[in-house]
Amino acid sequence: MSQERHLEALTHPIFKTLSKCADALDCEAYVIGGFVRDYLLNRGTPKDIDVVVLGSGIALAEKLSEALANQPEVTVFKNYGTAMIKYQDLVLEFVGARKESYTRDSRNPVVENGSLEDDQNRRDFTINALALGLNKENFGILVDPFEGVKALEEKRIITPLSPGVTFSDDPLRMLRAIRFASQLNFIIAPEALEAITAHKDRISIISNERIVDEINKMMASDTPTLGFELMHKTGLLPLILPELTALQGIEEIEGQKHKDNFWHTLEVVDNISKNTENIWLRWAALLHDIGKAPTKRFDKKVGWTFHGHEFVGSKMVYKLFKRLHMPLNEKMKYVQKLVLMSSRPIVLAEDYVTDAAVRRLVFDAGEHVEDLMTLCEADITTKNPYKKKKYKNNFKIVRQKIEEVEARDHVRNFQPPVSGEEIMNTFGLKPSKEIGMIKEAIKEAILEGDIPNDYQAAYTFMLAKGKSLGLTKTA
Ligand code: CTP
């Protein structure tokens, strides 16, 4: 057991106050878990502080609150025997040391008191079981009974108990193992990886919200696909995101093959992650091809086709978000839109790039046009250097044209230059389909480049269009 003193981790004045409170209550207390792990990994000073108490966590929280300026509120979770204090930018959580598993939302919270070692035993990984003493005589001393520091140095995810026991205590830990591996670029110990594979079906008892939380953390890591590959390898992926595994495989008919869209997708996610931290854009990359499984056809003349996969995929996004209890809000709509439009710039980049096509792209993508371009550039995974260069160059041209066209025509947040009301007044019309036709014709003329996007040109165009519809100007 390491006895090194880590005073630097506890420089925040709150720890001295906490120390005094614990001594006053005559109970041992330790900072444990993610705070210690992240401090030892030099991942900055964590703001979430988990405190384990040999005694009552609630009593220590209350004592601390009394000792702090403004006596912050203590939120008590009676069922679990835990308490929380928000103080400045810190969130402190207090829990009594337990013999049984530590899971905040386990269905059968067990509150049987235990020793520090009992508590450390029932935590998920050795790197999360590191504890720093808070009492006067052991202030800052690291308690590391399972070689958690060694595991940190060796970048290994190991369970304190036999992995089957640790994962049965809380099956979410299978995903946590994968998430930490992805986030920290660690290796999961082979026995643990085997246990995940063996126990994967138990993930079904975990709420979608907790699952999505972990997936989002994977998604936010530098190389998200480390996580997706591990989920794939252990068999968790088809239980959580079957739409992705359905993309796996290469079929060959009459000598014609299509690419493996699963591995392609992972490559796209890693590519995009180098260019954006927006996890919703990363989600769009993950889901951009999901419509390809249900739309795959073989045509003797043209080979493999995935007609309409973008539209089908965008509908699937909604179902997937709904199933996983993800927010059905503007984030979902954003992902849907990017999936729906995901082939548009590619079609442009394959061909001669006209201003009109770019204007339509900007009009349809609106404020997300930049993100759409980022997605499409990430989508270039061809191993053919000639094609790669060609697509990249064409995307450069598309980007340039987007800027030029936008500077001139302002179609990104298009507002009709002539209002429906003005059309009605000009031709003395009541609400009718002609108004819509004229408005649409003006928009089309602007997007095609027949007229500039300004009031005068649109007004003149409106008069001509009205005339062609047999209308006469009355005002
Ligand atoms: N823990 C556990 N089993 C879980 C969840 C948490 O044993 N299913 C323990 C671990 O010791 C963990 C601590 O509770 O370190 C705090 O959990 P949490 O705040 O969820 O995670 P952190 O480890 O702090 O990491 P992060 O903030 O990155 O989620």
- For residue range 304-360, what is the model confidence (pLDDT) as tens digits? 889 999 999 999 999 999 999 999 999 999 999 999 999 988 877 777 778 888 999
Residue 395 lies in a domain: no
Q: Which of 43, 123, 203, 205 has the most ligand 1 atoms within 8 A of CB, as the residue to mutate?
A: 123
Q: What is the mean pLDDT of residues 17-23?
A: 97
Ligand 1 contact, 66 CB (< 6 A): no
Q: Residue 144 is part of which domain span?
A: 7-154
Question: pLDDT tens digits for 232-252?
Answer: 999 999 999 999 999 998 888
Instruction: Kindly state the DSSP code that residue 141 receives in the 8-state scheme.
Output: B
What does each C-alpha distance from 311 to 105, 261, 294, 295, 449 come to in angstroms? 38, 17, 11, 10, 27
Residue 177 lies in a domain: yes
Contact between 227 and 178 (Cβ < 8 Å): yes
Output the six-digit token pair for 107. Answer: 């269905």
DSSP 89-102: TEEEEEEE-BSS--
Q: In the chain, what percentage of residues exceed pLDDT 90? A: 77
Beta strand residue intervals within 107-246, DSSP E:
131-133, 142-143, 156-157, 187-188
For residue 67, what is the domain's CATH number? 3.30.460.10
Residue 388 lies in a domain: no
Strands 82-87 and 187-188 turn out to be unpaired
- 12 and 93 share a domain? yes
Question: pLDDT tens digits for 170-182?
Answer: 999 999 999 999 9
- 107 and 14 share a domain? yes
As a residue count, the chain comes to 475
**Res. 226 pLDDT band, cuts 50 70 90:** very high
Ligand 1 contact, 172 CB (< 6 A): yes
Residue 311 lies in a domain: no
Q: Which of 31, 38, 50 has the most ligand 1 atoms within 8 A of CB, as the residue to mutate?
A: 50
- Choose the final residue of a domain: 94, 128, 154: 154
- For residue 442, the CA-to-ligand 1 centroid distance in Å is 58
Of the given ranges (125-139, 173-187, 190-204, 244-258), which has the lowest mean pLDDT?
244-258
- Choose the final residue of a domain: 204, 221, 240: 240
- At a CB cut-off of 8 Å and minimum separation 6, what does 16 contact? 10
Highest averaged pLDDT of the listed ranges 107-121, 162-176, 410-424:
162-176
Question: pLDDT tens digits for 414-460?
Answer: 888 999 999 999 999 999 999 999 999 999 999 999 999 999 999 99
Beta bridge partners of 324: none
- For residue 271, the CA-to-ligand 1 centroid distance in Å is 29
Report which protein residue has its CA nearest ligand 1's atom 28. 34
Closest CA relative to residue 60, chosen from 111, 36, 95, 34: 95
- 216 and 235 share a domain? yes
Ligand 1 contact, 50 CB (< 6 A): yes
pLDDT at 341: 96
Residue 283 lies in a domain: no
Highest averaged pLDDT of the listed ranges 101-105, 293-297, 317-321:
317-321
Residue 216 lies in a domain: yes
**Res. 475 pLDDT band, cuts 50 70 90:** confident
Q: Is 105's pLDDT higher than 90?
A: no
- 67 and 175 share a domain? no
Residue 18 lies in a domain: yes
Report which protein residue has its CA nearest ligand 1's atom 27. 34
- 119 and 169 share a domain? no
For ligand 1, what atom is nearest to the CA of residue 123?
A: 7
365 burial (CB, 10 Å; 0-12 / 13-18 / 19+) is buried
For ligand 1, what atom is nearest to the CA of residue 179?
A: 28
Ligand 1 contact, 48 CB (< 6 A): yes
Q: Is 110's pLDDT higher than 70?
A: no
For residue 199, what is the domain's CATH number? 1.10.110.30
pLDDT at 222: 94
pLDDT at 235: 98
Ligand 1 contact, 105 CB (< 6 A): no
Query: Mean of the per-residue pLDDT values for the chain?
Result: 92
- The model's pTM is 0.90
Contact between 51 and 18 (Cβ < 8 Å): yes
Structural domain count, the chain: 3
More confident call, 4 vs 368:
368
**How many C-beta atoms surround the C-beta of residue 74 within 10 A?**
19
Output the six-digit token pair for 191. Answer: 């026995």
Ligand 1 contact, 379 CB (< 6 A): no
- 88 and 66 share a domain? yes
Q: Which of 52, 124, 144, 216 has the most ligand 1 atoms within 8 A of CB, as the residue to mutate?
A: 124
pLDDT at 5: 82
pLDDT at 346: 80
Ligand 1 contact, 125 CB (< 6 A): no
- 32 and 80 share a domain? yes
- 20 and 68 share a domain? yes
- 165 and 137 share a domain? no
- For residue 440, the CA-to-ligand 1 centroid distance in Å is 56
**How open is the CA angle 264-270-273, to the nearest 5 degrees?**
140
Contact between 151 and 157 (Cβ < 8 Å): yes
Residue 261 lies in a domain: no
Ligand 1 contact, 103 CB (< 6 A): yes
- For residue 128, the CA-to-ligand 1 centroid distance in Å is 7
- For residue 212, the CA-to-ligand 1 centroid distance in Å is 15
- 48 and 172 share a domain? no
Place of tokens 């386990």: 106
Strands 90-96 and 48-53 turn out to be parallel
pLDDT at 2: 59
- 119 and 221 share a domain? no
Question: pLDDT tens digits for 41-98?
Answer: 998 878 999 999 999 999 999 999 999 988 999 999 988 889 999 999 999 999 999 8
Strands 187-188 and 156-157 turn out to be parallel
Q: What is the mean pLDDT of residues 218-239?
A: 97
- Choose the final residue of a domain: 240, 260, 288: 240
- 145 and 163 share a domain? no
- For residue 34, the CA-to-ligand 1 centroid distance in Å is 6
Closest CA relative to residue 151, chosen from 167, 174, 128: 128
